[in-house]
Amino acid sequence: MTYRLEVGADVDREAVERVMRVHADRCPVYRSIHPQIHVTTSLELEEA
């Protein structure tokens, strides 16, 4: 799964990356299919 986010210059990119590191544990879809299906995630930040 690739997340593509358009962010402004004022966005705390470190905070966004921190959220990405922990989001799977909070995602109901991920938790319902893991570990039967291996899911990988990536993040692409683009200037808005």
Name the residue ranges covered by the structural domains of the chain.
2-47
Give residue 11's identity as a one-letter amino acid code. V
Distances (CA, A) of 25 to 5, 16, 20, 22: 20, 16, 10, 6
DSSP state of 34: T
- pLDDT number for residue 38: 92
Q: What pLDDT, on the 0 to 100 scale, is given for residue 24? A: 86
Between CA 38 and CA 44 the distance in angstroms is 20
Backbone angles phi, psi at 20, to 5 degrees: -60, -35
Residue range 3-44, pLDDT digits in tens? 999 999 999 999 999 999 998 889 999 899 988 999 888 999
Residue 48: closest CA among 4, 7, 13 = 7
